[in-house]
Amino acid sequence: MMHRHLNSALVGLKCTACGAHFSSDELINVCLNCGKVLFATYDLERVTSTLRKEDLPLRERTLWRYRELLPVATKEVSLGEGMTPTFRAERLGTKLGCSHLFIKEEGLNPTGTFKSRGLSVAVSRAKELGAQILAMPSAGNAGVALAAYGAKAGLETWVFMPNSAPEMNKLQCQAHGAHLVLVEGLIDAAGREAQKEGQKRGWFDVSTLKEPYRVEGKKTMGFEIAEQFSWRLPDVIIYPTGGGTGLIGMWKAFDELGRLGWIGNGRPRMVAVQSTGCAPIVKAFEEGASHAEPWPDADTIAPGLNVPAPFADYLILGVISDSGGMAVAVTDEEILSSIRDLARDEGIFACPEGAATVAGLRRLLAAGIISGSESILLLNTGSGFIYPGILKGIGTAGDSMTEE
Ligand SMILES: *Cc1c(COP(=O)(O)O)cnc(C)c1O
Ligand SMILES: [Zn+2]
């Protein structure tokens, strides 16, 4: 095959906290000044020299259609991620009293969750910059995506997972040939273990937002939303928030599209949904704080939401506040009944994290914070196939679950 240049307009990296600039030509994790999150920056003039938004429909139906705004210069490691459909949720919408309700179905990504996006881009870039061994802590789904894209790239991978991670995640990681290390405790404990081992052995750490490019993969959800909504963004986006990478990424995407002049000034209110069993962002939001305190004894049936101390807390809270959005927590019971609603009303077999957005919407409608006439987009971040055990909790027709 001919060598194809990807036309990336990447120019460098900029710290989200202290503003320091760094080269994007070498492997790097966080800001060397202050230890905070680095963002990729692009030459937007150059983007428009090879890409007009009118040309997008002719491009490949993966996230690589936005290659000018992605950090990979030579060759992508791709399994067909991105360009997931956005459905109109008419039946569920009618039930909830929403006339314009939509669901973006991320469960159709290659590894069954939107973690494919971040790892496709991060593994591509790490490989291109010469990394040989990649490691990360994961609640489950990110580890699977690292294992799969690592396999495709021919790189060695190490995944540190809580013992309590879903069985399917563990099996899948091993099937892809990753080294799986099970750790007592939650993702923060797994993170400490991964860092300790990695520093000794010189692995490249691909923990989310502790390297600059997973968020670049996840930001493509924002590009797709803009494209799928004909460049007029919905009024509200509801996102199940763990580490917050998707929320932060979509907001970055809207900023880039705004500066390209492809969308107007209007922005969606960004809503972070968490579980009442692990809601550090909700607590910080309610207290008007710009940082989140670690959540003690975190526990929820939604593994992706079980992140007691998100590294990029200040960025998540910044997006919520800049967008006029909010944060809301829902119970595991509400999540379970929302899995059932999505399955029965929309034919979508959602993961608990995705179902949490329905529960969050219900609460915000009841509180009058979202109106039924607004256009509302829910992100179903993954497939329910990953968590077969949860099915036992959702019951069957005519059972004793409470109806509203
Ligand atoms: C990781 C994950 C989340 C949370 O995503 P963040 O970007 O870390 O906030 C939500 N849903 C699923 C299915 C996940 O795997
Ligand atoms: Zn800095």
Q: Using CA positions, which residue lies closest to atom 10 of ligand 1?
A: 304
Is the per-residue pLDDT at 174 higher than 70?
yes
Atom number in ligand 1 closest to CA 113:
13
Q: Place 34 in a pLDDT band, splitting at 50, 70 and 90.
A: very high
Check whether residue 147 and residue 247 sit in a common domain: no
Does some domain include residue 327? yes
Considering the domain architecture, whether residues 289 and 376 belong to the same structural domain is answered as: yes
Question: What is residue 188's predicted lDDT score, i.e. its pLDDT?
Answer: 86
Instruction: Please indicate, yes or no, whether residues 238 and 371 belong to a single structural domain of this protein.
Output: yes
**Residue percentage of the chain with pLDDT more than 90:** 90
Ligand 1: which of 115, 207, 271 to mutate, judged by most atoms within 8 Å of the beta carbon? 115
- What confidence category does residue 388 fall into, taking pLDDT thresholds of 50, 70 and 90? confident
Residue nearest to atom 7 of ligand 1 (CA): 245
Ligand with an atom nearest the CA of residue 28: 2
Ligand 1 atom nearest residue 241's Cα: 9
Residues 266 and 354 placed together within one structural domain of the fold: yes
| One domain, residues 64 and 90 | no
Residue 256 lies in a domain: yes
* Statement: residue 404 has pLDDT above 60: no
- Over the stretch 311-364, which tens digit does the pLDDT of each residue have? 999 999 999 999 999 999 999 999 999 999 999 999 999 999 999 999 999 999
Nearest residue to 392 (alpha-carbon basis) of 331, 330, 340: 340
CATH of the domain at 178: 3.40.50.1100
| Average pLDDT over every residue of 171-183 | 97
Number of domains within the chain: 3
Together in a domain, 169 and 301 = no
What is the Å distance from ligand 2's center to 38 Cα? 8
The pLDDT of residue 391 is: 74
Residue 164 lies inside a defined structural domain of this protein: yes
328 alpha carbon to ligand 1 midpoint, in Å?
Answer: 16
Q: Is the model's pLDDT at 39 over the cut of 70?
A: yes
Q: Is residue 78 part of a domain?
A: no
296/355 same-domain check: yes
Residues 240, 356: one domain? yes
Average pLDDT over residues 122-148: 97
**CA-atom Rg of the chain in angstroms:** 20
The Å distance, Cα 21 to ligand 2 centre, comes to: 8
- pTM for the model stands at 0.96
**What is the domain extent for residue 231?**
86-110+219-396
**Mean pLDDT for all residues in the chain:** 95
State whether 284 and 389 are in the same domain: yes
Distances, alpha carbon 13 to alpha carbons 23, 38, 134, 239, in Å: 6, 6, 21, 26
Tell me the torsion sign for CA atoms 244, 250, 256, 261: negative
Q: What spacing in Å lies between the alpha carbon of 23 and ligand 2's midpoint?
A: 13
- Identify whether residues 104 and 141 lie together within a single domain: no
Q: What is the pLDDT of residue 1?
A: 41
Q: What is the pLDDT of residues 219-254, one digit of tens each?
A: 999 999 999 999 999 999 999 999 999 999 999 999
Give pLDDT, residue 102.
98
Sign of CA dihedral 402, 354, 382, 223: positive
**pLDDT(64) > 60:** yes
- Using a 6 Å CB cutoff, which residues line ligand 1? 113, 115, 141-142, 208, 240-246, 304, 351, 353, 381-382
CA 261 – ligand 1 centroid, Å: 30
- Asked if pLDDT for residue 148 goes beyond 50, the answer is yes
**pLDDT at residue 77 tops 70:** yes
Residues 252 and 361 in one domain: yes
Residues 382, 299 share a domain? yes
Structural domain includes residue 23: yes
Using the atom order of ligand 1, give the atom closest to the CA of residue 386.
13
Mean pLDDT, residues 21-47 taken together = 97
Please tell me the distance from the alpha carbon of residue 232 to that of residue 226, in angstroms, as a whole number: 6
Q: Whose CA is nearest to atom 8 of ligand 1?
A: 243
pLDDT of residue 395: 62
Q: How far is the CA of 17 from the centre of ligand 2 (A)?
A: 5
**Exposure b/e, 69-98, CB count within 10 A at least 16 = b:** bbbbbeebbbbebbbbebbebeebbeebeb
In a domain, 136, yes or no: yes
- What's the 305 CA to ligand 1 centre distance in angstroms? 6
Cα–Cα nearest to 245, from 216, 282, 203, 286:
216
Ligand with the closest atom to the CA of 137: 1
Structure tokens at 289: 């704080």
Q: For residue 404, what are the contacts with CB-CB under 8 A and spacing of at least 6? A: none
